Every structure is written in C-alpha cells, then in structure tokens.
Structure 1
Amino acid sequence: MTNMTHAKNIERRFLLLTFFILLICPLTGHAQSFTWDNVKFQGMGFVTGINAHPADPGYVVARTDVGGNYRWDPENNRWIPLMDAFNAPGVSGDAMSESDPGLLYSVTTGPLLLKSSDRGDTWEKLEGFPDIHVNPNSAYFRWGGKRLVVDPNNNGKVLFYASEQDGLWRSPDQGETWQKIDTGEVPPGSGGGNIFTAIDKRSGNGTLNSQIIYAGVQGKGIYMTTDAGENWKILPGGPDSLTHRPVSGTVSTNGTLFVTYTDQESEWGHDGKDGRIYRYSGGRLIDVTPADNNGRGFSGIDTAFDDPDKVIAIQWKPGYEKGIHLSLNGGESWKPVRFSNLSEPSWYPTYVPWTYTSHIMFDKANSDKVWQPNGFGVYVTSNIQAANPQWVTRMDNLEELVAGQVHVPPVTDGKAVFSLVMDKIAFAHDNVDQVPSKSIFGDQFGIGTGMDYCVGNPSVSVIVGSQMHNVAEERHLYTTNNGKGWRPFPSIPADFNNGNIAISATDESRWVWAPHNDASSVPIVQMHYTNDKGESWHPSSGIPAIRNSATHHWAQSLVLASDRVNGDYFYYYLQNDGGALYRSDDGGETFSKVYSGLPQHYQCKLKAVPFREGHLFFHTNRGKLFHSTDYGSSWSEVPGVSSVGGIGFGKPMPHSEDPAIYIAAVIEGTEAIYLSADYGKTWTNISLGEMPAGRVRDISGDLRTAGLVYCATGGRGIMYGRADIPTSISFTNQSQLPELRIFPNPSYGSLLIIEFAKPIETGSIHLFDNSGKMVQTHNIYGKSSEILDTANLQSGIYILRVLNMGYPAGSARFLVIN
C-alpha cells in the first residue's frame, strides 16, 4: 500500500467518524437547520404594478417599490416572493412574454435586469443591461406606467425599457444587448422621465416585430413609431406637455391608445390637482376625461381583453368615490366606481382609500374582475359594474413592510413581538402567524424610532416616534402589561420627538430619552431622564450641546442603550463628536466620555448584551462589528465580519452558556444571517439563501426559546427563523426531513440520488457547503427523483435544500468523501 493510499484511507475513516458523530450529537459551529417565514402583517409597502399573462390568467405577478416581485399562487390564494436571493430589490419594471409563459423579466435597483425562464423561481442576471439610473422608490418614478415591455410578436425577441433619466432603450435579443433610441427621435423626459411604453399587438405577427409602439415622455408628450422603433414622431393633440405630464398608457385590442396625465411631476403634488385622460383617435389625442372625478391626477389605466371599449382608470388617491372610473364605450362616457366596501385586515386605517395608487388591471379571464394595487396592498373586486362593489385584499404572504426595529420582551405570561415600522409606527403580535387586529397607534400615521423594555420587568415597554413628514408631531406610548394596554407619557420635555429611549434594567420607572437632534433640529435638544415613568423629566448633563446626525428619524439608528444587567448604566453614541461613546453610571443623570474613535456614520446600532454586564456591540450600516467588554471604555473589531446590517441576542443554544448572537453580515464572502453559539468565536450561516439578509435592519433573538430569531427588514417585513433543535438523540442515518430521501450517504465521489415524497412540479435544488456558501443549483420539473454528480465536490459536509413552486420542499445534510 502506498503512503498516498494509506493517507486517503485515514482521511475517509476520519470523515466517516465525523459523520456518525454528527448524526448523534447536536452541531456546534456547523450548519444548524433553520426554517424561515414571515410575521404576518398582510399590508403596507407600495405595490406599484400588476401583470397577468393573457394565455394563463392565473399567472399574476406584482411588483413593489422596495420588496421585489411576487407571483400569485391561485391554488393557495397567497403570494410567493421571488427575489429574496437578490435581497428583494425594488422593481422599476417587469414584463412577461406572451410567446413563452415561462419567461419573466424584471428591472431592479442596481441597476439589474433579471431574466427568469421558470416564472421567477430562479433568475439570471443579464450583463448587457445599461448602467443607468434606476430608483423604484422615488417619488418621481414609482407611480408610472409600464416601463419594461416585451413585444408580444415574433417570439418576444424585442424588449423596450423607458428609463427614469436616460431615455428610451431597445433590446433586439431578449435583453442580452441594448441600444438607446436616438434622443433626437425620443428625448429623455423630466420629472418621471420616459414613463411608459405601450405596444399595438395588431401591428406584428409570429415572424414580424410589432411596428406600432408608443412612448410616454414627461415634459415632452407621447411619441409613436410605425416601423418598430426606427423612426418616431410626437402625437398631435393632447394637453400642454409643460403643464400635464403623461403617467400611464395602454393599447386596446382594436389598437386604441389611452393615456393618463397629471399636472405634477412627482407624487407629492398629486393632491387636488388637474388629472386628465386622452384617447388617440383620428390621428390626434383627444380629451376623454371623466367630468365627475375627484380632482387629482390620474395614474393607472387598462382596457379589457374581451372588449376594446371597456376601460378602467384610477386616480392617484381615489377616495371612497369619484376616483375609479369605468367606461363601456371607449371613453365617451364614464361611470364612477365606489371604493368603500372594503374587506381588509382590521388594522388598516380609515385613510386607505386615499393612499397612493399607480396601476389598475382587468383580470385576463373575467373583465368584471379588477385588480387594484396601492400603498397598502392589492385589492380585487369580482364585479366592477356593481353599484357598490366589494373590494377584497389579496395579501397573504405579500409582506413588503419597512421595519426598523424588532423587540421581544422575555415575559413569562405572553408572547408579544413588538415592531417599529414606517407609516404605521408600531405593532404588537401575540401570534406571529396571525394578522394583528390593530396597530399600537391606531389610525395615526408616522414612524417609530425608539423602543425598550425593562429587563427586570419586561411587561414594561416604551415607544417614541413622530409623524413621518412633520417630526414636531410626536408619538409616544408606554405599557405596563406587555402591550395589552398603552398610555401616552404623562408629560414630555420641550421640543422632544423621535430619537431613542431606554429603560433601566432594574428600575421600570427610570427612562432615558435621547431625542431627534440632527442638523434639522431647532433648537438643539439635550437628553433627559425620568424616574417616575414620565411624570417629570430632568436634563442629563455631560454631553456637549452639539448635533447628532445619527438621531435623524430616517436613519433608524440606535444610539442609546441601557446595560442589560446593571440598572445604573446607560450608553450613548455621539457621531458628531468623533464617534464618541458616553457612559452614565447614575441612571442617566450624568454622562462622561469614555471612548472616542468609533466609526462615524449616521446609520448605526449600539446594543448591550443580555446576561453580560458592561458588554456592548456597535456597527455602522453595512460596516464592521466592534465589541466592548468594559462598559465602552475600549473596543475591538470582531475579526472576519463585515457589512453588518443588524445584530441581536437570544437564549443560549443547547450545550452553550453564552447568549446566542445573531448577525446579518458578510463572512468569508457570503452575505447571510449568522449565528454564534460561542460568543463570536465561530459563526454559522443559518439563512442559506432563504431570506434577504442584505435587507435586514435589526435583529432580536427570543431570550426564552433557543434558536428563535426575528429580523426586521427594509422591504420584506419581519422574518423569523426557527432552529430545528432535536429533543432527543437519534442513532439513525436519516439526517433529513421526511419530504425527501438521499442515498448513498456518505457519497464516495460518485452520484447522489434524491427521492422526493411528492413530485416536484417546478422547483430547484440548492447545495451549500458547511460554511453556508451555495456551491450548486439545479432546476427540476415534474420529477420524483433527481441525481447529482458529487465527483467534483471537496470532501466534507453539505446541506441540500429543495424548493417546489417557490415553497420549501425538504432539506438534508450529507457527507462527501473524495
């Protein structure tokens, strides 16, 4: 036997021993299986568009301003998120191919052009897309019409994209390469730019590209080509292009173009303004605006698949009546459609009918059914011609909420999960799998910026915030019964709003409030403390009277923290003082500078560690992670960790005495949610591509349940992960969930056979190494089994995840010995 053969046999015996140890012992420092899901809100965010495939009416895709694309699952009446692997970016435009129902394109923040051949289950990035401005969350751009379109003729070879600032673009090869339409033909627009593209399907066929195409350009007008985009002309008629700007356009089945207009270039000016609808007839644009409208700008418009004269249009904030309009004669006359009979989650505010809208769509199978997305979600009515049609939300699993913080007080008599969010300020969930009946602040509009609970009595929590666009209109509440009831603070200091608030770990009556104090604050306001639950407030001393840019409400920073053991200690980060850390050891009455030189950034998080007196962590947004063990007097960088989006702490994992640390970060080149069960010595990837780690803004573990963690995201709501922690030791070789079976295990550099309990209709297999890095991905269609070649894999432990129709369909851990 050669030395090399002997060494190889020793390696195989070692790996086999490792494998069987893993089967009977809990993993520490290795991949821990976590299952991820959304906390249910079923509302918020801005659903900016809806598409449906004409050949498959049940195939519906929604686009959002900050949360990616979603596909409707008609069998289960819920949405499937499609872009978590790309951190759920905002979508500027998406388009289906009539020639190939599997093809789906999406232009997202980046800019990125993503292409899917399986309706969004998997995506590829098309590198030829131009490096142009794409901002789906802009007040100028997000409410426009269809920017991205696929020619319905000639096998969908040609795509058009109406850009925000860089003119009109055309691709002749399904998005692989792009050419800009000469600006002498179609100029760039102002405001929302080139706002929509619309195609006359009748002008082409199976071998000929569509010849008639329209392009809406804000500040210029409507342009038309009759030779597939070679030459363009501006359409005569229409409103003054300097006073009325096109928003959306659609072409009916008989070739008639309808266009909506507003007299403002951004969404902020739509209230009480002059909206219009024009129809292209007889060689010119003519005014067909409904006389009985609500006086606001118009946004979405659509025509029915089965009747070219059936037109639906919506105004920017429709209200209960006179904001949605139906015509049965091509715009000659209109009937107002009521939007008051609403079936929706009970927490929705009364002002929902006056929220933002951008699109409206006839169903592709039933033109009396209409889909209407807005700033709270997606509404559908099955009888648009009724006197008072019922509108029902379709929001299950479409979670686009922008959340800034999540808190899980470790009470013994409840399960409340508290969240601070944009627009609706704050929520409390007693059951994360049920939609809450109300938000904490009721109908009030605003943003939550600060929250804390008392470690000694976690039933006591406080919240601060403000109206989102008028910070002087403050928001503040506290509870003494874990959110069952809330009361306003008895008093507040002068000019106080927003910022952060912290409660002493041992005294539920002692709060410290560091208010909004950035460059827009007038006057500069100082930190205050109360020792009687807000009955009276007193200024803290020792902090210089300078601004702190990290306290701006949009920053969603955490600059104030209470020690989680010693109730006398509070900590404060002052960005504008050289990244200084101030400390109080007398309950917030006086502070002194104990460190200078932390990274300076207006978005940052300072957190104290539970069960560890004087221990702190700090990071800036997508920066490095720093740790202090001496009450903030000195700091050290945590090695190997970068691009941190959030950090939180949970109950120690089995066989550990250290609090679990959860971070959203990049480690060894992979962005993910990581868990450390040994206080930062080793990190385990627990998200494995199943949630958008790059969108995480805050993290909180549950201090009562090991392996339970909540992540607040900027556009995918709050997601929670739960570890699959065995309750007993298993001596079998089945290291996978019952949905699938794999063999041989170990695999000796040959083939791995995967058998599924149920056939995979349209799905994918994702293979991760033990660090959590994805090493292989495979698409599967209509199969009960699959074979993977493991010959090129390095020896080690691997994790296999299977998706079917976008849903988890099983996972397994196996060993490769090569």
Structure 2
Amino acid sequence: MQKMRLIALAGVVAGLAAGCGGSDADHANGSTVLAGTIGSASPTIKPARFASVKFGGGGYVPGLIFHPTSPDVLYARTDVGGAYRWDAATSSWTAITDMFGPDEGFYHGSETMAVDPNDDQRVYMSAGMYNWASSHARLYISTDRGSHWTHVDLPFPAGGNNQGRAVGERLMVDPNDSTILFYATRTAGLWKSTDRGQTWNQVTSLSTLTMTQAQIDTAYWSSPVGMEQLIFDTDTKGTGTATQTIYTAVAPDYANMAGLTAGLYKTTNGGASWTSIPVPADVQGFIIPHMVRAKDGMMYVAFTKGEGPGAGGPCRLYKFDGTNWTLLKGYDDTQWSSFGMGGLSVSGTGAHTRIALGVTNTWGNWQGMPAVQMSDDGGATWREIANLMPRDPAKTGYSGWVDDVEIDPNNPDRVLHVTGGGVWETRNASDAQPTWNFIVNGVEEVATKALMAPAPGANYSLMRAGLDIGITVQTELLKAPTRTTGEWFSSAFGIDAAWSNPNYIAAIGAGASKTPDIVGAYSSDGGVSWNKFANNHPDAKAHQSETASVAVTKTGNVVWAPAESVPAWTADSGNTWTYTNLPALEHMSTSRGYHVVADRKNPNKVYAYDSGGAWWAQWGGAAHFYTSTDGGQTFTESATFKNSAALNSFQQTSVAVNPNAEGDVWVVDGFSILHSTDSGAHWTKLNVTQSIPDPNNYYVPKVYGAISIALGKAPVGAKYSASIYIVGVINGQWGVYRSDDGGVNWTRYNDDQHQYGGISNLAADQAVPGRLYFAGAARGVLFTY
C-alpha cells in the first residue's frame, strides 16, 4: 500500500507521442504556464502546459468528505499526495494542493478536512505529515472549494501519514454557528476556535495534557491516536446559536496519559464541562475509528482493536440512543478474529436506517468476503455489497484498507469506499449485486524514486520506479501502464535502459513479501516481461534502501550500486557480479549511495558520483566523482571535483549526461550546478543557483539551490545540443528551469500554481523538444507539452 505518495486530461495537442493525441476541445483541462526569464530570453522556450502521466490512484485515501446538503461537493484527502475535489461534470478528481511550494512538502499530507454546512464554498484542511512534538500542523482555509488557500499555523502537530490516519474526521464545523470549529488532536486533547480557525484554544475542561516527545514515542509505535472525533448532536443548522450537546471520542493512549476514565464524553453546555459515557465492556480499550449520527439522533459507533490503516480486530458496531447501547455487528470468533472495522456511514432514520460499514484487514477476493457490509434495516440484517463482482486485476481490490465508507447524503444509492490504492464507487447500492467503478481519474498518488526516458525510437515513452508500485513502463502517457513488474518489488528505486537497445531494461528495488529474493530484475522486451537476476548484487538484500542506483551500458551489462555498498558489475544479466574498485560508503548521518550513470555515446564509460552524505557532516571529507572507461569495472577519481562540489545527501543531488556528446556531464550538488566536458576530469561551477536559508535551521536550507537535473531533445536552432532542465532557485525564485544554450540563460518552466509540494526527479524526452517528465511530492509523475 502506498505510504510515502492534475487535473485529468482527456487529450493533448496533436503531434505528441503515442497515446497523447487529442482535440482542441480537450485542452480546456490542461494548464498553461507563462515562463519567467532569468538572464536573456531564450526565443525557443514556449509556455509550458502540464498533465499527469497516468498511473491511476496508487496511494491511500484515508478520508472522503461530502458536503451535507450540496450535491456532488466532495473532497478526498490523501496521506502524502495532497487533496482533491470531485468534478461531477468530468467524473474525475481535481487536485487542489498543486500550488503548495517546495517548503510545503511536509503539508502535502492531510490529517483531516471539514466543510462548512452553511457555506458549500468554504473548506478546511489540516495538514502535517508526522506528529513530532516539535512540529506544527497547518490549517489551510479556502472560500472557493480549494482553488485558493490561506493558512494559519496550529499550536499542535498533525499526523497525516502516521498510523491511525483514517480516524475521524477530527475537524468539525458547528452547523449552527459556522464560526466555531473543534479539532480532536492526536497529542494535545480537544481544541476550539471561535473565529473560523484563525485562533485556537485548548478545551481545558476536558484535558490539559499535551504529550511530550517521550510520551508520543510510547503510543502506538510513535503514532498516538489521541482524541478521535467530535459529533454535534443537533438536527438544525444556521441558527446562529452554538450547538450545546457534543460528543467526543478519546483513544486509550491519550486517555491513560491524561487520566480520563472513558472512551466517550458528552457535553451539554458547548464544552464548558464534560460527562463520561461508559462504553460496553467488550469494547473497553478499543479505538473508535468512526462514529456517525443519524438524522433521528441515533449514534452509530464502530469499535476496533487496532488503529489502522487496515486495523485488525476483534471489533464491534453498536448503536447508542443516549442511554442504551445495542450491539449490531461484530467479528471476533476464530474465523473472523483478524477482521476490524473502519469506515462507517448512515442514511435515513429509525428501522429503515441504511448503514454502510467498512470491514478492514480483509484480504483476497473470494465472493462474499466482507469488505463493505450494508444494512437497510438499522443493523438487523446485513449483506455484502462490494466483494460480489470480480475486480479488474489491474486495479486495487475491494478489500484491505476499507477505512472510510461514505453514503452520499443526497443519493443513498451512491456509496464510496477507500482502499490502500484509491477510491471505489457504486451508484446502485440497493441492487442485489451493485456495480462498482474504480474512480481514480485525476488522482495520482505515487512517490517516484527514479525516472528515465529512453533513446529515440523506443517503443515506450518513460520508465518509472516508485514506492509501493515497483516499475512501470509507459507506452501511452494518458493511459495506465500495462508493462509493470507486478508484485515483484514492494518498492523500486532505480531503472535504466541500454541506449543502443532500449528494449533491454534493468531495475532495482526492495523485495516484496511474496518475492523477497527479487531485488533486481531485467527485461529484454521493453518491460513487457521481466526476469529476475539469476543472482543479486552480493550486498543488495542486506541494503534495500532507496539511496541506490543502476546503470545499463549495453545489453546484458549493468552496474548496480546498492546503498552503503561497493557497486558491482555484470556482463551476463546478473548471472555473475564482480565488485568495482570504488570504496564502500558508510552510513553518515544519512543513508549514502552512489549515483551511477552510463555515457550514452560511449558504452565503455560509466560515471559514479558520491555526494558525500550530508553537507553539515564535514568529517565525511568531500564529495567524489569517478569515471570508468571499461564499462564500469574500474574507476578513476576526478582530482578536481571534490574541490568544486559541496557535500549533500543522495536525495538532494543528481547527475545527468548529454546523450549527444561523449564525456559531457552535469551534476547538481544540492546547491550549485557543475559541468564537465571531458568525462569529469575538469569542472566548471555555474554561478546561477542559490539556496534559500531557513532562519530557524542552521543545518538545512529552507529550499535547496539545485537538486535535480536532466537533459533532453533540444529545439531547432538551439545553441547547445540538448535542453537542460533543473529544479532549483535562481534569483531567489524556486522552480523548474530550462536552458537551451548550455546553461548561460535560464527560463522558469513552471509557475506558482504548479509546484506540487516540491519537485524532485526529472527526465527529459529525447525525441520531443520541450517535453519534461517530473515527480511531484507523492503526486505521481507529470509532463509538459
């Protein structure tokens, strides 16, 4: 399941690569960016437009949020890949956090979202990836359904990618007085705002505890659940008088630390005082992942043992009328003891209440296996509505992380549920066998670790290595890939293809539970089929870290550099591996690895770049650059490089070669751009980029000056044989920049509405001038056209 993760485009301008044709009418869904120029303008650079290279979902959507009265106003929050708004006209999702900048990557995971019941334009989103005691969440506020945001810093952390991230929703707006918001936090109890989220105060009448880091570390593997949710017990809205009766749930971790004696509390005076509500004995100490209120005031409460994602059992569903608890469903016998409960939604009232219940930690696809259970009689009888029809094997299954289920408040036959890979929807839930569709068009939540564009003439356009998805080879940019490594890798870190034969591809990653021995593989047919290396690099299984790379010099010849290891080479597709003479890289403040890259004009030349580890760890010596002239068997160090380049981490550095000129090498060391035209013997530092310092952190810049570089097809008339693209800062402005004259002049290639929480890996097309592929912050892969 995705843990680390544009507007859907129907077509793009004629003349793009295979699968990218489209009419002019399709362009309405694209985005045009007017580039800003640094230095002298380059007349060859035209405004860029952006679209997603389609994977389709790929990550965890912990929460779906409907507006209670306005049809089709629906949001999806992801754990690492931003947030989305449903577009009913196109039956797709629109990304609403793509304007987040490179210093907002930590806020690209949303812990909770809330809508204003009285204003369907107003939406709130709390964001913050992890609940460290020293971190602060942000509350993002929009008055136009997420098209624009302002934010305030919150006095407590959030855990958008922590365990238990589907619990809630934690943030709620009072339906009677929309100026009032409550937030059930993980580490600091219950908080309240009376000015639409601008300022916050702890509800000290319930608890005054704010967890220390030591306390956080002891709770659920450093993922405290804390306060879980809040429900306004009211049938009215917009009265202007604050709702007085409110319920809130508290998890055992926070309750025990705060001295609270129950898992559920109630106030009848707007939070001035609270009364504990005893829960049934068989669910003492359980998590309440969701509780919901029907229109008749009946409360439905799910209890499960684990915090999720995909929380295990035992579990129970109860209804509560304010006094009495009634058991509706449970899983705890021998056959079902591992099943938990996650999503919960209700529609209607009384004996005809429709209940949709997500059953989590269920894996497989046998017909009738619990995934989404539905009752149309208030819980008296139940039927399975999801695992009744076969699923497309190319899509995620119905089961697993069913941690949120929502009945459309305006159409009870429309039910949505999440999994670890996206969102499923049915619009005929009343049928004996509902029809489900995987509605992920527009959602791209893959954390990309490496991109590679092949040589001109390849029968595919792009190769991608990603966390939780392995390898994909894209033949059509706007269609989900059909060439993949399947379940071979739990995650993939590196990929390359032979320039003389792009059908030969090598890939490296981490072994999956079913295939723990496969950490390296190759394809001889452009990714259609794959073979595991007969033998792995000797150290690869012991060092399955993403600080790794791979280079292919020609068919069968591969150089593999696992993390913190001596790179090795093979000339027989992995039957035998021989260590190179490069030194091993020891762990130093951060994981270390070599960037290895093959020269595209001379297959005997291979370059290895050791970025040094971390620039603040000066005892590590220096960065190093090495060149091989025998296909990667032996390397010679550049004597001048270590005096030119800065130390930095693997993830903040990059190396690229010009495919049109032998020995033409480019490096970005996190701060600067370096260029060699003689295979690394001598280097020139371009005085172009500069980091943006962080006044609160001496060791790490707020934004690095140059972190990724790629070279691609140059336009006709360019002064240099390749277009150069970098991610970095020029004249104080972060962005993606392009140069067509060898790095003399640079033009910004994106704008402030297209920042994607930061951009990392780049690859440039070798056949289409101006086409750049890049990875957003767990926003999948995007391309310019």
Residue 288 of structure 1 aligns to a residue whose secondary structure is strand
The CA deviation at 1:694 is 3.9
- Please give the residue correspondences for 1:259-658 in structure 2 after superposition, counting only pairs within 5 Å: 259-265=301-307, 267=309, 270-271=311-312, 273-283=313-323, 285-291=325-331, 295-305=338-348, 309-319=353-363, 320=365, 321-341=369-389, 344=392, 346-348=393-395, 352-436=397-481, 438-467=482-511, 473-497=517-541, 498=544, 500-503=548-551, 505=553, 507-517=554-564, 525-544=565-584, 546=586, 559-574=595-610, 575=612, 578=621, 579-594=623-638, 595-596=641-642, 598-610=646-658, 611-619=660-668, 623-633=671-681, 635=683, 637-641=685-689, 642=691, 643=704, 644-658=706-720
The 8 Å contact of residues 756 and 777 in structure 2, kept in 1 or not, is answered as no
CA distance in 2, matches of 1:558, 1:97: 50
TM-aligned CA deviation for residue 367 of structure 1: 1.0
Deviation string for 1:594-631 (max 9, x for gaps)?
A: 354641324243323223433433345x6544444443
Residue aligned with 1:474, SS = coil
Question: Scaled by the length of structure 1, what TM-score is found?
Answer: 0.76
1:677-716 residue pairs with structure 2 within 5 A?
Answer: 677-716=740-779
Residue in 2 that maps onto 1:73: 87
Tell me if structure 2 keeps the 8 A contact 1:143–1:357: no
1:580 partner amino acid: H
| Residue identity matched to 2:285 | T
Secondary structure at the counterpart of residue 119 of structure 2: coil
SS in 1 for 2:710: strand
Q: Which has the higher contact order (CA 8 A, sep 6+)?
A: 2
Check the 8 A contact 1:111/1:132 in 2, yes or no. yes
Q: Report the CA distance shift for 1:187/1:264 in structure 2 as closer, same or farther (over 3 A).
A: farther
Q: CA RMSD of the aligned region, Å?
A: 3.0
SS at match of 1:603: helix
Any conservation in 2 of the 1:47–1:65 contact (CA below 8 Å)? yes
1:102 aligns with 2:101: no
Which runs of structure 2 are paired with 1:766-805 in the superposition (5 Å)? none
Alignment partner, residue 729 of structure 1: none
Corresponding residue number in structure 2 for 1:757: none
Give 1:371 shift.
0.8
1:301 Cα deviation (Å)?
0.9
Q: 1:463 deviation in Å? A: 0.9
| Distance in 2 (alpha carbons) for counterparts of 1:83 and 1:447 | 25
Q: Which moves more between the two structures, 324-333 or 698-707?
A: 324-333
3-state SS of paired residue (1:451)? strand
CA separation of 1:240 and 1:121: change in aligned 2, threshold 3 A = same
Distance 1:615 1:550 in 2: 29
Cα 1:28–1:514, aligned 2, differ >3 Å: closer, same or farther? same
What is the CA distance between 1:267 and its match in structure 2? 3.6
Cα distance change, pair 240–167 in 1 and its aligned pair in 2 (3 A) = farther
Q: Give the partner amino acid of 1:40.
A: K
Rounded to whole Å, the distance in 1 between the matches of 2:478 and 2:655 is 28
Shift of 1:491: 3.2
> For 1:606 and 1:35, how far apart are their aligned partners in 2?
25
1:199 and 2:241 correspond: no
Structure 1 residues 188, 544: CA separation in 2 closer, same or farther (over 3 Å shift)? closer
Using the TM superposition, give the Cα deviation of residue 468 of structure 1 relative to its aligned residue in structure 2, in angstroms.
Answer: 5.8
- Does the CA contact (< 8 Å) of 1:504 and 1:563 recur in 2? no
1:54 to 68, 73, 81: 68
Q: Deviations over 1:325-358 (max 9, x none)?
A: 22334334433444242555x5225xx2343232
Query: Letter of the aligned partner of 2:361 in structure 1?
Result: K
SS at match of 1:573: strand
Deviation at 1:107, TM superposition (A): 1.1
**Separation in 1 of the partners of 2:683 and 2:559?**
24
Partner secondary structure for residue 353 of structure 1: coil
Secondary structure in 2 aligned to 1:559? strand
User: Of residues 217, 235, 255 in structure 1, which corresponds to 2:277?
Assistant: 235
* Aligned twin of 1:783: none
Is the CA contact (8 Å cut-off) linking 1:671 and 1:694 kept in structure 2?
Answer: no
Q: How much has 1:449 moved relative to structure 2?
A: 1.0
Distance 1:341 1:282 in 2: 39
Alpha-carbon distance between aligned partners in 1 of 2:277 and 2:594, rounded to the nearest angstrom: 54
2:56 corresponds, among 38, 42, 48, to 42
Tell which deviates more after alignment, 675-684 or 562-571: 562-571
Query: Which is richer in strand?
Result: 1
Residues in 1 aligned to 2:709 and 2:635: alpha-carbon distance in whole angstroms: 25
Q: Please list the CA deviations of residues 271-314 of structure 1 after superposition, one character each: whole Å capped at 9, or x if unmatched.
A: 4x312223323525554333585632211111115667322111
Correspondence for 1:120: 146
Residues 96 and 342 from structure 1, CA distance in 2 versus in 1: closer, same or farther, beyond 3 angstroms? farther
Extract unaligned runs of 5+ from structure 2.
1-35, 129-135, 212-218, 256-262, 614-619, 692-703
TM-score by length of 2: 0.79
Partner Cα distance (2:44, 2:475) in 1? 32
**Structure 1 residues 484 and 473: CA distance shift in structure 2, 3 A:** closer
- Secondary structure at the counterpart of residue 318 of structure 2: strand
Question: Matched residues in 1 for 2:521 and 2:372: separation?
Answer: 38
Alignment check: 8 A CA contact 2:66 2:408 kept: yes
Give the superposition deviation at 1:65: 0.9
Superposed CA deviations along residues 760-801 of structure 1, whole A, max 9, x for unmatched, are xxxxxxxxxxxxxxxxxxxxxxxxxxxxxxxxxxxxxxxxxx
Aligned partners of 1:62 and 1:69 also within 8 Å:
yes
SS of match in other structure, 1:58: coil
Shift of 1:147: 1.1
Secondary structure of the residue that 2:121 maps to in structure 1?
coil
Aligned position for 2:28? none
> 2:484·2:528 contact (CA, 8 Å) conserved in 1?
no
Q: Which residue of 2 aligns with 1:131?
A: 155
What is the CA distance between 1:666 and its match in structure 2?
A: 2.6
Q: Distance in 2 between matches of 1:439 and 1:218?
A: 44
Deviation at 1:720, TM superposition (A): 0.3
DSSP-derived class of the 2:398 partner = helix
Cα distance in 1 for partners of 2:603, 2:303 equals 59
Label 1:184 to 1:198 Cα distance change in 2 as closer, same or farther (>3 A): closer
Check if 1:246 corresponds to 2:288: yes
Amino acid in the other structure paired with 2:600: R
Quote how far apart the aligned CAs of 1:37 are: 0.4
Q: Tell me how far apart the structure 1 counterparts of residues 186 and 55 of structure 2 sit (CA, whole Å).
A: 31
Aligned 8 A contact 2:44 2:718 in 1: no
The C-alpha deviation readout for 1:187-236, integer Å capped at 9, x for no partner, is 56852222222222327651211112222221131222111222122211
Deviation string 1:386-432 (CA, Å, 9 cap, x unpaired) is: 34322211111111222222211023152331111111201111110
* Alpha-carbon spacing, 1:468–1:173, altered in 2? closer, same or farther (3 Å): farther
CA distance in 2, matches of 1:473, 1:230: 59
Bigger Rg, structure 1 or 2: 1
Distance in 1, Cα, partners of 2:584 & 2:358: 53
Relative to structure 1, is the Cα distance of residues 685 and 469 closer, same or farther in structure 2, using a 3 angstrom cutoff? farther
Distance 1:665 1:463 in 2: 28
Deviates more, 1:440-449 or 1:709-718: 440-449
* 2:188 and 2:208 in contact (8 A); partners too: no
Q: Report deviation, 1:509.
A: 3.1
Q: 8 Å contact 1:515–1:551 — kept in the other structure?
A: no
Pairing 1:173-184 to 2, within 5 Å after superposition: 173-182=195-204, 184=206
Range 197-206 or range 100-109, more displaced: 197-206
In the alignment, structure 1 segments of 5+ residues that lack a partner are 1-21, 518-524, 723-818
Secondary structure at 1:51's aligned position in 2? strand
Aligned to 1:150: 173
Q: Residue by residue, what CA displacement relative to the aligned partner does 1:430-452 show, whole Å, maximum 9, x if unpaired?
A: 1101222x351124451111111
Aligned to 1:452, the other structure's residue is in SS state strand
What is the Cα deviation at residue 385 of structure 1? Answer: 3.8
